Amino acid sequence: MEYLLQISNLEVEFRTYAGVVRAVRGVDFVVAPGEVVAIVGESGCGKSVTAQSIMQLIPSPPGKITGGSIIFNGEEILRKNEKQMQKIRGNSIGMIFQDPMTYLNPVLTIATQVTENLRLHKGMTRKKALQRAVELFQLVGIPEPESRLKQYPHQFSGGMRQRVMIAMALACEPQLIIADEPTTALDVTVQAQILELIKGLKERFRTAIILITHDLGVVAGQADRILVMYAGQIVETGTLDQVLKEPLHPYTWGLLKSVPRLDAVKGQKLTPIWGQPPDLLQHFTCCPFLPRCDYAMGICSREMPPFFNGSRVRCWLNHPHAPTVEFKKGVS
């Protein structure tokens, strides 16, 4: 299959006063055209750093991509200079950020910001770019687009600002959109509308989407494939059904148990994942989930688990000689 994006053995580190933080540790994955791939994990697991690496937006210093390869459209992204990257960002790859207010410029009208990429990458005149901006606002469900375009970011609600971000990401019809926690700051109803909108893009434009979230509930019904990240590594991958219905890694079990369920009995409590994510200053010689794992065995503290079941899961429980452990979904 021809992939749109191929990431191999990606390594990213940050040099801090406390030492070298290895935020991404040998990440591999691919994205096909039109595919929605969700990257799921707790804060600090490396999912956003992985996404920023694709756009070469790692703040340097202190960050640095120290190894691996990112092939987009057959070309090595990591060999491109800043000028070449500017032609890719907002043109072939769009990005939707968690908090649009930090991305949108408060002193420029929305029209100026939405039309910027169209004028820069597509060479449109101001008039043509404004016409396209009106179409984009209609597409993302912003009413009265002509008058809204004349307004400033503070005059939009959180959900509407996120729609503006989606319109900006879509402006140049990119082949890939990276949505980094696009609904975290929104209430549940608006969250559902935004997720439906993102899903519609895939169907309408065959845009590939990388959806980054800490919430497995968000990806249900949205993603084709899920990658679960922990401590800078991918620990489980699979189709949506595989990961949600037949999860294999204790960390994925924990994530699933901490999602509220409609079929929960009254009075049942959510089960959080106890403990803290590991310190990424550490060098791991064994499973990084060990201190938080209820199923740890002797080998877990001696050797780093390799991938089992093809490249589906990184956990010793999936070794052919490991004891059988049953995962029970839901709340305790």
- Closest to ligand SF4 by CB, 197 or 290: 290
Nearest Cα to 280, choosing from 32, 1, 43?
A: 43
Q: Which of 250, 256, 257, 278 binds ligand SF4 (CB under 6 A)?
A: 250
Q: Per rule CB under 6 A, is residue 296 in the interface with ligand SF4? A: yes
Size of the site for ligand SF4 (CB under 6 A): 13
CA-based torsion, 33, 309, 261, 161: positive or negative: negative
- Closest to ligand SF4 by CB, 14 or 230: 230
Contact present, 254 and 267 (Cβ < 8 Å): no
Q: Per rule CB under 6 A, is residue 317 in the interface with ligand SF4? A: yes
CB of residue 190 to ligand SF4, shortest distance in Å: 35
Q: Which of 4, 145, 300, 308 binds ligand SF4 (CB under 6 A)?
A: 300
53-61, 114-122, 143-151, 314-322 -> range binding ligand SF4 (CB under 6 A): 314-322
Contact present, 101 and 156 (Cβ < 8 Å): no
Residues 6+ apart with CB under 8 A from 275: 291, 292
User: Hey, which residues between 266 and 295 contact ligand SF4 (CB under 6 A)?
Assistant: 287, 289-290, 293, 295
Contact present, 175 and 93 (Cβ < 8 Å): yes
176-184, 207-215, 216-224, 311-319 -> range binding ligand SF4 (CB under 6 A): 311-319
Rg (CA), the chain: 21
Interface with ligand SF4 (CB under 6 A): 250, 287, 289-290, 293, 295-297, 300, 305, 315-317
